[in-house]
A and B are shown apart, each in its own frame.
Chain A
Amino acid sequence: MASLDDLKKRIASVKSTQKITKAMKMVAAAKLRRAQESAEKGRPYSEKMNNIILNLSSGISDKENAPKLLSGSGNDKVHLCVVMTSDRGLCGGFNSNIIKKAKSYFTKLVEEGKDLKIITVGSKGNDQLKRAYSDKIIANISFKESKHANYFDAEKVGKMVIEKFEAEEFDVCTIFYNQFKNVITQIPQAQQIIPLNVENSEEDKSEDSYEFEPDEDEILSNLLPKNISTQIFKAMLENSASEQGSRMSAMDNATRNAGEMVDKLTIEYNRSRQAAITKELIEIISGAESL
Chain B
Amino acid sequence: MSEEFKIEIVNPEKSFLVKEDVSEVVVPAFEGEMGILKDHISIISFLKPGIIKILSKSGDENYYVEDGIVEFKNNNLSILTSSIFNLTDLDKSKQQDLLKLAEEEAGKPDISDQSKYLVDQKIEVLRSLN
Asked whether any CB of chain B lies closer than 8 Å to the CB of A219, the reply is yes
Q: Which residues of B contact A150 (CB under 8 A)?
A: 13
User: Are A38 and B10 CB-contacts (below 8 A) given A211-B41, A211-B43, A213-B31?
Assistant: no
B96 within 8 A of A: no
Interface positions, chain A 213-246, Cβ under 8 Å from B, are: 213-214, 219, 222-223, 226, 229-230, 233
CB-CB under 8 A from B86, the residues of chain A are none
Query: In angstroms, how far is the closest chain B Cβ from the Cβ of A149?
Result: 9
Given known A45-B12, A48-B78, contact A211–B42 (CB-CB < 8 A): yes
Counted as pairs of residues, one from A and one from B, with CB atoms less than 8 Å apart, the total is 73
- The chain A residue with its CB closest to the CB of B29 is A213
0/1 per residue, B13-36, Cβ < 8 Å to A? 111000000000000011100100
CB pair A210–B43 under 8 Å, yes or no, is: yes
Interface hub of A46, A48, A229, A233 (most chain B Cβ within 10 A): A48
| A48 pairs with B10, CB closer than 8 A | yes
Give per-residue flags for B59-89: 1 if the beta carbon is below 8 A from chain A beta carbons, else 0. 0000000010101010000101010000000
Q: Cβ of B45 < 8 Å from any Cβ of A?
A: yes
Chain A residues within an 8 Å CB radius of B82 = 151, 155, 226, 229
Q: Which of B13, B31, B43 contacts A41 (CB 8 A)?
A: B13
* Contacting pair B43 A208 (CB below 8 A): no
A55 with B13, Cβ < 8 A, contacts A48-B80, A213-B29 known: no
A38–B14 touching, CB < 8 Å? yes
* Bound-complex Cα distance A45 to B78 (A): 10
Chain A 22-44: CB-based contact to B (< 8 A → 1; otherwise 0): 00000000000000001001101
A183 interfacial contact with B, CB 8 Å: no
Determine if B129 is an interface residue (Cβ-Cβ < 8 Å).
Answer: no
User: Of all chain B residues, which has the CB nearest A154?
Assistant: B12
Please state if A210 and B15 are interface contacts (CB–CB under 8 Å). no
Partner of B13, one of A48, A56, A151, A214: A151
Q: Is A78 an interface residue (CB 8 A)?
A: no
CB-nearest residue of chain A to B11: A45
Q: Which residues of B contact A208 (CB under 8 A)?
A: 42, 73
Interface size on B, residues (CB 8 A): 24
CB of B44 closer than 8 Å to a CB of A: yes
- The residues of A that contact B73 with a CB separation of less than 8 Å are 208, 210
Q: Is the CB of B13 within 8 A of A52?
A: no
CB nearest neighbor in A for B42: A210
Other-chain residue from B12, B45, B46 in contact with A42 (beta carbon distance below 8 A) = B12
Within 8 Å by CB of B46, from A44, A46, A223, lies A223
Which of B29, B31, B67, B71 sits near A48, CB closer than 8 Å? Answer: B71
In the bound assembly, the distance between CA atoms of A208 and B42 in angstroms comes to 8
Contact call A230/B31, Cβ cutoff below 8 A = no
23 residue pairs from A and B, CB less than 8 Å apart:
A38-B13, A41-B13, A41-B15, A42-B12, A42-B13, A45-B10, A45-B11, A46-B12, A48-B71, A48-B80, A150-B13, A151-B12, A151-B82, A155-B82, A209-B42, A210-B43, A211-B43, A212-B44, A213-B30, A213-B31, A219-B44, A226-B69, A229-B82
16 additional A-B pairs beyond A42-B14, A52-B80, A219-B44, beta carbons within 8 Å, are A42-B12, A45-B10, A48-B78, A49-B69, A52-B69, A52-B71, A151-B12, A208-B73, A210-B71, A211-B42, A211-B43, A212-B43, A213-B30, A219-B46, A222-B46, A233-B12
